Amino acid sequence: MRKRHSTMGQAVDVGKRMNAKHIILTHFSARYPKVPVLPEYLDKENIGVAMDMLRVRFDHLPLVSKLLPIFREVFVAELFELTIKKEQRVLKDKELSEKRGQLKA
């Protein structure tokens, strides 16, 4: 059976299109052992991130989006490592593309 998961961007887009007052993202990929990359666009809306065991009362939903800066601070080392790995992948892909271009020429 094929898994069908949304990216963060896709989930946020669906939430916006359905005029959700609050969007809480959860169930992140196994690629992120502790915390997923938390893009800056999450800060512009009522978007929150739920980590394991998070419980929120309905009347506290507006507070969930306020946790993003705290998550970024708590997981600063992990987020930095994810950023470095992403940049390394981009550079490696660029090098491979350039090599392929040279081989075709």
Q: How far apart, in Å, are the Cα atoms of 66 and each of 41, 45, 70, 82, 86?
A: 14, 10, 8, 22, 26
- Residue 5 pLDDT > 90, yes or no? no
Q: What is the model's pLDDT at position 72?
A: 86
Closest C-alpha to 28, from 44, 9, 5, 48: 5
At a CB cut-off of 8 Å and minimum separation 6, what does 4 contact?
none
Confidence of residue 32 (pLDDT cuts 50, 70, 90): low
Average pLDDT in the 26-30 region?
A: 73
Tell me the pTM.
Answer: 0.65
